[in-house]
Amino acid sequence: MKLNNYKYIYLFLFISFFLFSLYCIFFIGIAYDQIFHIENGEKRLKYLLSLGRYDYYDILHLRYYPGLYDTISAFFATVFPRKFYYESFHIINFVLGITGIIGLKKVVKYFFGPDVAKIFFLISIFTPVYFGHLSINPKDTIIATSNFWIMYYVIKYLKTNDESIRTYISIKLSLFIGLGIGVRIIFLGTLIPIILFLFTEIFFLKKITQRIRLKNFIKHIFYILIISYILLVFCWPNTHSNIFTEPYKLFLDSFRDQSLGPQISYFFGKFYQTQNTPWYYFIINFIFKTPVIYLTTFIIFFIFYKKIKLIHIKNENFDYFVLFTLIILTFPILISIVLGLKIHDGIRYFLYLVPIFNFLPAIYLDYLLKNLHINYNKVFFALLLPLLFIFLIKFITITPYQYSYINFFNDIFLKKNSFENDYWGTSIKELIRKFVDKIDHASSIRIATCGANPVNVKYYLRKYGLKNFILTDFNSKFDYAILINRAILDDKIKDNFTCYSKFDNKKTFLTINKAGIELSKVVKYN
């Protein structure tokens, strides 16, 4: 059965997704880091437009970030109406994120055919964690988009036999590499498996590689290095005193700066120093944050691998492509375990891997739809339907905070709030809107924050009409405290806690609860 038979369902789902996404974009709040990246982009843009005369461009530790995407998004945000200024950054981020999925779809189409690619696209845009980050994450989403298009253009480079086209492709490659390292230099580490694949293909395996002249290949590598490096330093004023040595120095300094990221992570119901999170940190987060229906298809895929391979009999490189994709997935995870890399905030540092995993359910579902006449496939189809229903209900009910999604394994095996959920405080917007509607505006109130970004809190308090307030910290006297479920290290008493556990003894005044997950709340002092 061809997937074309389901084209109207496919079209309906895509249109529904588009309208649903618009709602999420305008409803969700500013993420914790996002406000700083917006300001960073504004200042970097002023610097460039003033031809270097504007020199106030340092925002916290963002001197370690090249700032290319921050600057680009700040430029495009100027064309939106001022009242939708912050939402414009959500839109720009979302568009780029979806564009990345389109690039990865092209890779899947080449590897496994158009039917698998269509299923892959639908699965990927409805992957909760990835969807949830699309509009609010100005770092990892952009890195993912860069990765996906680099994968596509590497494949296209190898496939063509036209050197002029290869030159054109190498320029495109340099633009996406520049975009990636323009977010974080460590992005280059994510390209290692792709680079290894490229060189192995050209010089050894030659499964898909057309004839390549070494002289031209070296020339194209040179183009990529030069253009991507120019993009790296272009919007990075901290390097303009010496564009050859300063990027290297700042990169090394970023590893020494302890202000980067939280010092404490809350994981599996326990506290960890961020640099000492367990080796299985990503694996456990991935298992609990991936829909069970996806996890089930991962397993079934390998059980029926030989049968699935039969419907791809014309694809003589099927095994090769599956192996390549699995290497892309496992290599960075293994390296992070071996090197003990500092990881926090769930799986966002490996966000670019999350959609790639979807090639497994896409291939299996393609096989299933084409072989529903077989009895045992009908059994698996009947098994997957209730899992699909459970997933869709939770995906919708957690709107628009899909990045906080956690599957029903958490309800079965773990206690409530065993993970940080809305660690970026995107539900603060909704919380404050409801909070301001419930309180007396006549008297001055003291409001403390825990976990939430005070800058964002102040912005939304004023946006929703509260004028008479004093913002303080949770160690001072307060009338109300605004909390998110995030791990905190209290430097005054050297104690670890989540904001929720810290204020267990306070009266809950208001909560934002979605799909059984308590995302943020307001507590009252007495």
What pLDDT tens digit does each residue of the chain (526 aa) get? 454 556 777 788 888 888 999 999 999 999 999 999 999 999 999 999 999 999 877 887 888 999 999 999 999 999 999 889 999 999 999 999 999 999 999 999 999 999 999 999 999 999 999 999 999 999 999 999 999 999 999 999 999 999 999 999 999 999 999 999 999 999 999 999 999 999 999 999 999 999 999 999 999 999 999 999 999 999 999 999 999 999 999 998 887 775 666 678 888 888 888 878 899 999 999 999 999 999 999 999 999 999 999 999 889 999 999 999 999 999 999 998 888 887 888 899 999 999 999 999 999 999 999 999 999 999 999 999 999 999 999 999 999 999 999 998 887 777 677 888 999 999 999 999 999 999 988 788 999 999 999 999 999 999 999 989 999 988 888 999 999 988 887 766 678 888 988 888 889 999 999 988 899 999 998 6
Token readout for 332 is: 């960075």
Q: Given this model, what pLDDT does residue 474 score? A: 86
pLDDT of residue 254: 84
Contact (CB, 8 A) for 478 and 447? yes
Q: What is the pLDDT of residue 476?
A: 85
Any idea where the domains of the chain sit in the sequence?
Answer: 3-356, 428-524
The reported pLDDT for the residue numbered 258 is 58
d(CA 505, CA 173): 55
Rounded (5°) CA angle 501-416-450: 30
Q: Would strands 480-484 and 445-450 be described as parallel, antiparallel, or unpaired?
A: parallel
Length of the chain in terms of residues written: 526
Strand stretches in 140-296, DSSP E: 264-267, 270-273
């006297």: which residue's tokens? Answer: 477
Tokens of 341: 């890399």
Rounded to whole angstroms, the Cα distance separating 362 from 364 reads: 5
DSSP secondary structure string, 19-43? HHHHHHHHHS---TTHHHHHHHHHH
Partner residues linked to 498 by β-bridges: 487
The three-class DSSP label of residue 122 is helix
Q: Is 490 helix (H, G, I), strand (E, B) or coil?
A: strand
- Alpha-carbon distance of 39 to 35, in angstroms, equals 6
> H/E/C letters for each residue in 260-295?
CCCCEEEECCEEEEHHHCCCCHHHHHHHHHCCHHHH
pLDDT at position 423 = 92
Q: 495-515 in b/e burial notation, b at 16+ Cβ within 10 A?
A: ebbbbbebbeebeebbbbebb
